[in-house]
């Protein structure tokens, strides 16, 4: 048994949405370390896309797009199809969070969060289905990875209602899509991140010492934690794992007894 072939991604072509920063960037770094030939990243802000592409090297190809609308989803799919005849890996990471008091929660916040977190992963995978099928074989399946959240596995004390609901929905969508696509040698799984420092999880970024008190492992996540989980599911090592969302959270979901924890150690 060769560990390099078991966990390697040599020659694969990948697309990571929201790949210019945060958890998306952590996954991109893992894909590169595991041997991907090319990794496309897409985000709304050109300066962030350009900076990350320059930082991570020639194998990273930056694209600018807004995936919250169907026309942006189609434009990205068309751009990838113009550049590649197959796609080995799709990481649906782009997401949004929105918090407002219950009595004041806006429809705009609801739509933006649910659309980007739940609608976009479905329709982007649909639009890229042909390229994924072109890459997929029984010996080397294509892979789709959904980035959910531990907030879809448990409640948190914050008024982020559509965020929590959409991430729970994404976990179930992962199961349903996995059942549909596995017959075509396209394996769908998910990751539920806990506390990783990012612009979305500013508590973990700016107040790590406080957040760590609510995590059984006693620390927030780092790039290697996220990269390793993604590599496992996207490589040969994860071929027989289907429709599963793995929490990568230091034990918050499965080991935290919860008494006295006033800081929510969650994140996307």
Q: Return the bridge partners of 143, or none.
A: 89, 187
Per the CB < 8 A criterion, the answer to whether 192 and 163 are in contact is: no
DSSP codes, 114-144? HIIIIIHHHHHHHHTHHHHHHH--SSS-EEE
Whether 212 and 197 have beta carbons less than 8 Å apart is answered as no
Beta-carbon contacts of 67 under 8 Å, excluding residues fewer than 6 positions away, are: 17, 42, 73, 76, 94, 116, 120, 124
| Strand, coil or helix: 155 | coil
Strand intervals (E) in the chain: 13-17, 38-43, 60-64, 89-92, 142-147, 186-193, 245-248
Determine contact, residues 35/5, Cβ cutoff 8 Å.
Answer: no
Asked if 163 is an active-site residue, the reply is yes
C-alpha to C-alpha distances, 56 to 10, 36, 46, nearest whole angstrom: 17, 13, 15
Q: How far is CA 262 from CA 3, 157, 248, in A?
A: 41, 9, 20
Proportion of the chain in helix, strand, coil states, percent, rounded to 5:
50, 15, 35
Choosing from 40, 161, 163, 240, the catalytic residue is: 163
User: What are all long-range contacts of 180-184, with beta carbons under 8 Å and residues at least 24 apart?
Assistant: 181/132, 181/144, 182/242, 182/243, 184/133, 184/136
* Active site (catalytic) residues: 163
């Amino acid at each position: 048994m060769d560990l390099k072939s078991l966990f390697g991604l040599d020659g694969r072509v990948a697309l990571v949405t929201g790949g210019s920063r945060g958890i998306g960037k952590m996954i991109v770094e893992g894909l590169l370390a595991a041997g991907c030939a090319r990794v496309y990243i897409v985000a709304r802000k050109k300066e962030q896309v350009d900076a990350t592409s320059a930082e991570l090297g020639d194998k990273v190809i930056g694209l600018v797009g807004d995936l919250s609308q169907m026309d942006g989803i189609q434009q990205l799919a068309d751009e990838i199809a113009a550049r590649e005849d197959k796609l080995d890996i799709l990481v649906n990471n782009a997401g949004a969070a929105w918090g407002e008091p219950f009595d004041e929660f806006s429809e705009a916040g609801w739509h933006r969060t649910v659309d980007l977190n739940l609608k976009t992963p479905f329709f982007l995978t649909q639009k890229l289905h042909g390229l994924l099928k072109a890459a997929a074989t029984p010996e080397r399946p294509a892979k789709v990875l959904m980035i959910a959240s531990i907030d879809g596995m448990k409640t948190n004390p914050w008024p982020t209602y559509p965020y929590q609901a959409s991430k729970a929905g994404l976990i179930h969508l992962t199961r349903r899509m996995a059942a549909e696509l596995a017959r075509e040698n396209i394996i769908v799984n998910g990751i539920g991140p806990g506390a990783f420092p990012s612009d979305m999880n500013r508590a973990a970024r700016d107040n790590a010492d406080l957040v760590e008190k609510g995590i059984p492992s006693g620390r927030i996540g780092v790039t290697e934690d996220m990269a390793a989980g993604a590599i496992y599911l996207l490589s040969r090592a994860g071929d027989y794992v289907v429709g599963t969302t793995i929490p990568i959270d230091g034990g918050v979901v499965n080991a935290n007894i919860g008494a006295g924890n006033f800081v929510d150690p969650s994140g996307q």
